[in-house]
């Protein structure tokens, strides 16, 4: 399956307007944003766990990165409440689920295969003081990519010319980009060489952003 697999094009998905699709595990549904592959895939998705649902134990051969959008994600390593950012690099394993239910934004098979750095962070705890109306937390930085969390004040402009592509998810509030309104749940991906110019609206915006990584986009090496 190929979905939004041309990384040379701008893509916007208003995720809260698309249908949930059942995963192979009962009680776990997905909204697919981009994908190369079938059940083993380089994938970006929003995944919803019904209360009491669990995935079977598995190893992340290509790594897993996620943020908890609502509820509490759980595995044998602990509880991950709303606003937690997690990196589980290649070779890590767990048995995920959620007793109360949760929704996560997750990226699979998008790691350097030699990466072994595993961690979790509460995104707001990493925020710097605002500069020109934008408070920023750098969640992860390596030779391939930079991952950030932004809180943009109301009616504030933000721009980036980062090389290697730009991707963002609106966690709360709204932005305008290229004349298009991006509300909560909107996912934007810009190709390498395209500049990001956004403006927040009256309520401001909270945004997850990744840059640099699209140079390395490829199907899983299965």
Q: Can you give the C-alpha Rg of the chain in angstroms?
A: 17
Task: State the architecture of 18-121 in CATH terms.
Answer: Sandwich (2.60)
Six token digits for residue 51: 């209360």
pLDDT in tens, 26-47: 999 999 999 998 878 899 999 9
Mean model confidence pLDDT for the chain: 95
Q: Is 27 helix (H, G, I), strand (E, B) or coil?
A: coil
Look at residues 41, 30, 35 and name the one whose alpha carbon lies nearest to residue 7.
35
Considering the four listed CATH numbers 2.40.50.140, 3.30.110.30, 3.40.50.2300, 2.60.120.10, the one that applies to the domain covering 122-216 is 2.60.120.10
Please provide the size of the chain in residues.
222
Task: Concatenate the DSSP letters of all residues of 18-32 into one string.
Answer: S--EE-SSTTEEEEE
Sign of the alpha-carbon dihedral angle for 193, 38, 17, 146: negative
Q: CATH 2.60.120.10 region(s) of the chain?
A: 18-121, 122-216
Q: What local confidence, expressed as pLDDT, does residue 55 receive?
A: 84
**CA gap 108, 94 in Å, rounded:** 14
- Cα of 76 vs its chain's centroid, Å: 22
Percent of the chain with pLDDT over 70: 99
The token duo for 101 is 């239910």
């Amino acid at each position: 399956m190929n979905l939004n697999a041309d990384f040379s094009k701008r893509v916007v998905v208003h995720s809260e307007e698309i249908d949930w699709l059942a995963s192979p595990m009962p009680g776990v549904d997905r909204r697919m944003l981009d994908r190369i592959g079938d059940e083993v895939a380089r994938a970006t998705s929003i995944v919803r766990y019904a209360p009491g649902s669990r995935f079977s134990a598995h190893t992340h051969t290509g790594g897993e990165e996620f943020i908890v959008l609502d509820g509490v994600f759980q595995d044998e390593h602990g509880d991950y409440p709303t606003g937690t950012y997690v990196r589980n690099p290649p070779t890590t394993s767990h048995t995920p689920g959620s007793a109360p239910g949760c929704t996560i934004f997750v990226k699979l098979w998008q790691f350097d295969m030699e990466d072994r750095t595993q961690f979790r962070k509460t995104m707001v705890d990493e925020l710097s003081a605002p500069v020109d109306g934008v408070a920023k937390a750098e969640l992860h930085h390596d030779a391939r990519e930079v991952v950030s969390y932004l809180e943009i004040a109301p009616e504030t402009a933000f721009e980036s010319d980062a090389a290697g592509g730009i991707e963002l998810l609106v966690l709360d509030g709204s932005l305008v980009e290229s004349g298009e309104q991006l509300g909560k749940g909107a996912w934007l991906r810009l190709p390498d060489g395209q500049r990001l110019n956004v403006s927040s609206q009256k309520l401001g915006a909270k945004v997850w952003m990744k840059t640099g990584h699209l140079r390395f986009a490829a199907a899983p090496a299965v």
